[in-house]
């Protein structure tokens, strides 16, 4: 497909009608998807969990094998704009060991020997090399910590740690039997 409109022939009425039909179909599908997503969110986070709580179910297995669980989903991932503050807060909370450092150097062709010596002599021997020191916290480790702290009733800076909490249901796929594999 090309974006060279100048060399394209003038579109026929049939072509224009087809473009119009497809564009309207995109709008229709988009509207349908939005409505379906709203209904899905309502059922997952309100209707089904409330019904399961009302009838006293925390978990339910469908006849097709899937497991429906009522509970809370927690995820955490530090937003880049809060990285330094969040890492400092983790350290202050006694969880600084979650912060990982990646120090990298960029060497050009034929600088292999320098690269092997660079780690120990980094600042002294190669002061002009671009040195990056990136700190990061694995989102899985952070999520586990946040879940633990929340379960203990401890204060967690939700925005700082990019915490997402959703109450509702999760549905796990049915386990396949060995003969099905």
Taking only the tens place, the pLDDT of each residue in 29-82 is 999 999 999 999 899 989 999 999 999 999 999 999 999 999 888 899 999 999
In order, the DSSP letters of 82-117 are: GHHHHHHHHHHTT-GGGEEEEEEE---TT-HHHHHH
Q: In whole angstroms, what is the distance from residue 50 CA to residue 60 CA?
A: 14
Check pLDDT > 60 for residue 180: no
- As to burial, measured by CB atoms within 10 angstroms (0-12 exposed, 13-18 middle, 19+ buried), residue 13 is exposed
Is residue 73 within 8 Å of 41, Cβ to Cβ?
no
Q: What is the 8-class DSSP label of residue 46?
A: I
Q: Please report which helix (H) or strand (E) contains residue 68, including its range.
A: strand 67-76
Give the per-residue pLDDT at 136: 83
Q: Tens digits of per-residue pLDDT, 113-159?
A: 877 777 667 767 667 766 666 778 999 999 999 999 999 999 999 99
Q: How many CA atoms lie within 13 A of 52 on its CB side?
A: 21
Number of residues written out for the chain: 181
Residue 8's SS3 state is coil
- Among left, alpha and beta (phi > 0; psi -120 to 50; other), residue 65 is left
The pTM (predicted TM-score) of the whole model is 0.53
Q: Please report which helix (H) or strand (E) contains residue 134, including its range.
A: strand 131-137
Give the per-residue pLDDT at 155: 92
Classify the C-alpha dihedral 86-87-88-93 as positive or negative: positive
Please provide residue 9's backbone torsions phi and psi, each rounded to the nearest 5 degrees: -70, 160
Give the per-residue pLDDT at 132: 65
Strand-pairing partners, residue 100, are 136
């Amino acid at each position: 497909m090309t974006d060279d409109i100048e060399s394209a022939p003038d579109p026929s009425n049939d072509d224009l009608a087809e473009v119009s039909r497809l564009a309207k179909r995109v709008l229709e599908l988009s509207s349908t998807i939005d409505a379906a997503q709203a209904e899905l969110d309502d059922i997952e986070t309100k209707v089904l969990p409330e019904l399961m709580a009302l009838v006293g179910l925390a978990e339910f297995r469908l006849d097709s094998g899937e497991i429906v669980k009522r509970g809370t989903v927690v995820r955490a991932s530090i937003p880049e704009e809060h990285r330094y503050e969040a890492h400092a807060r983790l350290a202050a909370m006694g969880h600084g060991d979650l912060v990982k450092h990646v120090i990298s150097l960029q060497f050009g062709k034929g600088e292999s020997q320098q690269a092997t010596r660079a780690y120990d002599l980094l600042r002294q021997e190669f002061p002009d090399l671009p040195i990056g020191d990136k700190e990061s916290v694995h989102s899985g480790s952070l999520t586990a910590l946040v879940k633990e702290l929340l379960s203990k009733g401890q204060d967690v800076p939700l925005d700082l740690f990019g915490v997402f909490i959703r109450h509702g249901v999760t549905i796990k796929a049915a386990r396949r039997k060995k003969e099905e594999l």
